[in-house]
């Protein structure tokens, strides 16, 4: 396992055939989405390995420089202004390495799903569209597309066929739903197959959404 990043690992059976790498949001940690595994398991997910990495602890400008777990710094409520491109790319490289570790453990790239919520979802988009690996799918929850300007010349053409599940809360006041819609429309314009779902909720995850995630994972894994 990559010594550079700590992870919580949960396996739903003795011989997992698929792997989900799931990235938490700002200020949370790898344990944040662990409870969801039980729900997904009850919905008939095959034996799966879940890897929940902890983001590093860094000062976050928008929170007055307070040190917390974050995949990159946020300097502006606008999110896409004054982007911390260096931090985004550093996390992209870290998670790329983590996926490489799973491949070394025997998981084929096409049996690995990358998922993320909020900041974690931004890294999911950032890496999932650029990686040399052909992944099984991407799950982007309550998030937006970072580094938009470089996507055209950095996207890996073989990832245009990747299935994407994107979901957002209609009352999200942290990452506005317009940001999520903008990302989806941009990807669809490039030919990416995106399933888009919205829910009457704030910046969170709801039960209906978990059902959609389970269906998506069963389909792609």
As annotated, the active-site residues are: 118, 172, 203
User: How far, in whole angstroms, is CA 13 from its chain's centroid?
Assistant: 23
Closest CA to 214 of 31, 26, 50, 95: 50
**Sign of the torsion formed by the C-alpha atoms of 201, 194, 55 and 29:** positive
Closest CA to 131 of 94, 151, 156, 104: 156
The beta strands (E) that lie in the chain are given as 7-11, 18-23, 48-53, 57-60, 66-69, 112-117, 137-141, 163-169, 193-199
Phi first, then psi: give them for residue 107, nearest 5 degrees: -85, 125
Helix 207-220, helix 35-42: angle, nearest 10: 70
Could you give the 3-state DSSP secondary structure of residue 54? coil
Could you give the 3-state DSSP secondary structure of residue 112? strand
Could you tell me whether strands 66-69 and 57-60 are parallel, antiparallel, or unpaired per DSSP bridges?
Answer: antiparallel
Which tokens belong to 212? 């959609």
Cβ distance 195 to 166 under 8 Å?
Answer: yes
């Amino acid at each position: 396992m990559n010594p550079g990043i700590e992870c919580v690992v949960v396996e739903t059976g003795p011989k997992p055939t698929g792997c989900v790498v799931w990235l938490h949001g700002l200020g949370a940690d790898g344990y944040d989405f662990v409870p969801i595994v039980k729900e997904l398991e009850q919905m008939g997910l095959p034996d799966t390995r879940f890897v929940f990495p902890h983001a590093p602890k860094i000062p976050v400008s928008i929170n007055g420089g307070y040190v917390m777990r974050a995949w990159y710094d946020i300097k502006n409520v606008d999110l896409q202004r004054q982007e911390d491109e260096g931090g985004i790319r550093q996390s992209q490289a870290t998670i790329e390495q983590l996926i490489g570790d799973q491949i070394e453990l025997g998981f084929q790239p096409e049996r690995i799903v990358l998922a993320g919520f909020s900041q974690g979802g931004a890294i999911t988009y950032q890496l999932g569209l650029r990686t040399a690996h052909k992944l099984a799918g991407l799950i982007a929850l309550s998030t937006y597309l970072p580094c938009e300007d470089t996507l055209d010349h950095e996207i890996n053409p073989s990832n245009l066929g990747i299935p994407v599940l994107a979901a957002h809360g209609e009352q999200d006041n942290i990452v506005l739903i317009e940001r999520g819609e903008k990302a989806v429309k941009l990807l669809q314009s490039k030919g990416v197959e995106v399933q888009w779902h919205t829910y009457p909720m704030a910046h969170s995850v709801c039960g209906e959404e978990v059902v959609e995630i389970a269906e998506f994972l069963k389909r792609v894994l």
